[in-house]
Amino acid sequence: MRLILAAALFAALAPKPFAQEPAAERWDARLASVSGEVVVHPADGGDEAGGEADMPLDEGDRITTGAGAYADVSLDGGSLIHLGENSDFTLEKTEKNESAFSLALGSLIAKIQKLGSQRLLVHTPTAVCAVRGTEFGVDASADAQTHVGVFDEGRVEVTNAAGAQTLEPNQETSVAKDRAPLKPFALKRFAARRAFMQGHRRRLAALQKRWKSLPPEQRRARRQQILQKMRRLRGEMRQKRQQMREQRREAAEERRRRNGRRRPGLK
């Protein structure tokens, strides 16, 4: 009896294991559409692959677009981020409570669903943009300038080590390296993109109607399937380009040989 009581007392006094915290909820991020040369550089360091519509994206993935190309990234089917040509974009953190993306170069236009207490940041080389449910655009130029504009709804706080400004609807600002953001002014750089934003809203509405959520295991399987397919296609394209280069080189050598055979007989 004493042994039983001692065992019970030991069990009661023993430290309880910590409850395992639930995994952070993440955005179901996917490529909604692509055009031209869009490349996905996987976060795990695997071989890059061409982008394809409906490809699931993971935290840390980097997306680059070539000249004349674009890509649309969706978050849960409720937000849509358009990446313009010659852009370099990374999904730095995809937790819904506090997500972060970076635009190292290029441009984006986004319509983000209302986030409530959630935070969404966009980093550029010279600024951090804190976004609420907002229609906004960001340009990151090669000369280390960032331009940010808000269209018809929402707010964006633009900050860096030198200062901060908050953009209201129909305002924009610019941020140079080591300089505070300019005081907000009426849309100028982004005014010409109003028409694009209108179309962007329609594309998002159409996407929302056909969006189907994917459980994690299906996301992983679809991602792996598409990555394998696009890597194979990318490899085949490289091989074809190499073959074409070799054919052109052989044709040029043959022309030189023919010219060389003719030259000695010329007076």
**Could you tell me the residue ranges of all domains in the chain?**
29-224
Evaluate whether the domain defined by 29-224 bears CATH number 1.10.3720.10. no
**Going by C-beta distance under 8 Å and a sequence separation of 6 or more, which residues neighbour residue 25?**
95, 96, 97
Task: Identify the bridge partners of residue 56 per DSSP, sorted by sequence position.
Answer: 30
| Distance from C-alpha of 191 to C-alpha of 173, rounded to nearest angstrom | 12
Lowest-confidence pick of 78-87, 110-119, 165-174: 110-119
The pLDDT tens digits of the residues spanning 119-133 come to: 999 999 999 999 988
Task: Please state, in angstroms and rounded to a whole number, the distance separating the CA atoms of residues 71 and 65.
Answer: 7
Is residue 183 within 8 A of residue 193, CB to CB? The reply is: no
How much is the pTM? 0.83
Q: Is residue 249's pLDDT more than 60?
A: yes
Tokens describing residue 230: 């696009």
